[in-house]
Structure 1
């Protein structure tokens, strides 16, 4: 999607705030003993209250309102009876539609107690995403996003999952431009135009290099198996730099 008027901007800001507030509430509720189904139920309730619809459910028939991935699962985890335990690393991905506009956000949460290396991984996952977001500028190269994330990961001793990509969003959950690498990809010659809407969502890891399928049609696992985090924002690229639409109320 390309933002072309104030109505587009207002619509994206609205749905961006909805998914961000939902993610924040789910993160706050995360504690040992809660099931991923119960956590998903909280997310669904918030989306319903704010007149929003789950995007993965709407677009793909995903069996849940949100994606919740625990430990070895790194993306598209199906909410269910699994109970959160002390020390778990949990990724929550919230995407939704409201008024014809879509936004997508996500974050990883470490449930205490956790090691210093996991605390550092979560901190640096946010920093890796920020490095990519900073490159979301009109008239800049799309490849600058992955280059910046890759530079950060290499400098700090991390690996990057290289088969899960960022994507265009706005009028649907996944749209052009597709295949936005969050790792160095010098073959990508595409440019970012003013008003382009897309996600920035690197997967930073302590050793994993790709995601592989499991026993169901959705859940993806780290390979080689290693702690992995993902942080995601939806952004609008402008001549003055990135506008992040997935910020919670009051941020």
Structure 2
């Protein structure tokens, strides 16, 4: 989607606020002993209360309202009977629509006690996303996002999952430009149009390179096996940089 007027931006900010509030409420409610299904039910209720519709369900018939991925699961985890335990890495990804506008956000949380290496990975994962967002602006190269994130990751001794990309969003969950690399890519030649709505969502890892699909047809795992974190915002490109719309409020 390309934003052309204030009404469109306001509609996008509204659903952005809803998914951000939902994700943060889920994270606050999360505790050891809870199943991922119970956590998803909290998210479903919050979306319904706001008049929003789960985007994975409406777009892909995903079998839950949100994606919750624990430890070795790195994305698209199906909420179910898995019990959240102390020390777990839990990724919560919330995307939804309202009044024809879609927004997408995600973050990786951890339950105490947390190993220092995983705590550092989470902090650096959020920083990698912020570095990518700083490259978003009218007329700037899309490849700049992945180049900047790649420099940061390499400098800190991390790898990036190279087949889970950022994407356009706004009038659909995934739209043009559908594959925006969050790793260095010499083949990416496109530029960012003014008003373009996109996600920035690097998958930072301590050794993983690829995402591979599990037996359930949804859940993705790291190959080689390694801890992975993901942080994601939906942003709008402007002449002054990026407007982040997935902010709580």
1:240-251 maps to which residues of 2 (within 5 A)?
A: 240-249=240-249
Aligned partners of 2:195 and 2:128: how far apart in 1? 23
Q: Determine the structure 2 residue equivalent to 1:207.
A: 207
Size of the alignment, in residue pairs? 249
TM-fit CA distance, 1:187: 1.1
Q: Secondary structure at the match of 1:237?
A: strand
Q: Secondary structure at the match of 2:63?
A: coil
Task: Determine whether 1:127 maps to 2:127.
Answer: yes
Deviations 1:107-154 (A, max 9, x none): 000110011101100000000000100011111000000000000000
Extract structure 1 runs of 4+ deviating beyond 6 A. none
Deviations 1:28-52 (A, max 9, x none): 1111000000000000000000000
Q: Determine the structure 2 residue equivalent to 1:173.
A: 173
Deviations 1:29-82 (A, max 9, x none): 111000000000000000000000000000000000000000000000000011
Q: Determine the structure 2 residue equivalent to 1:196.
A: 196
Aligned partners of 2:94 and 2:186: how far apart in 1? 30
Q: Determine the structure 2 residue equivalent to 1:151.
A: 151
Q: Secondary structure at the match of 1:129?
A: helix
Task: Determine whether 1:235 maps to 2:248.
Answer: no
Q: Determine the structure 1 residue equivalent to 2:108.
A: 108
1:3-18 maps to which residues of 2 (within 5 A)?
A: 3-18=3-18
TM-fit CA distance, 1:94: 0.1
Q: Determine the structure 2 residue equivalent to 1:164.
A: 164
Task: Give unpaired runs (5+ residues) of structure 2.
Answer: none
Q: Determine the structure 1 residue equivalent to 2:32.
A: 32
C-alpha RMSD of the superposition: 0.4
Task: Give unpaired runs (5+ residues) of structure 1.
Answer: none
TM-fit CA distance, 1:15: 0.2
Provide the TM-score with structure 1 as the length reference: 0.99
Aligned partners of 1:217 and 1:211: how far apart in 2? 13
TM-fit CA distance, 1:194: 0.4
1:51-66 maps to which residues of 2 (within 5 A)?
A: 51-66=51-66
Q: Secondary structure at the match of 1:92?
A: strand
Task: Determine whether 1:141 maps to 2:135.
Answer: no
Aligned partners of 2:14 and 2:161: how far apart in 1? 31
Aligned partners of 2:226 and 2:93: how far apart in 1? 19
Aligned partners of 1:189 and 1:228: how far apart in 2? 28
Aligned partners of 1:11 and 1:226: how far apart in 2? 38
1:79-118 maps to which residues of 2 (within 5 A)?
A: 79-118=79-118
Aligned partners of 2:133 and 2:182: how far apart in 1? 10
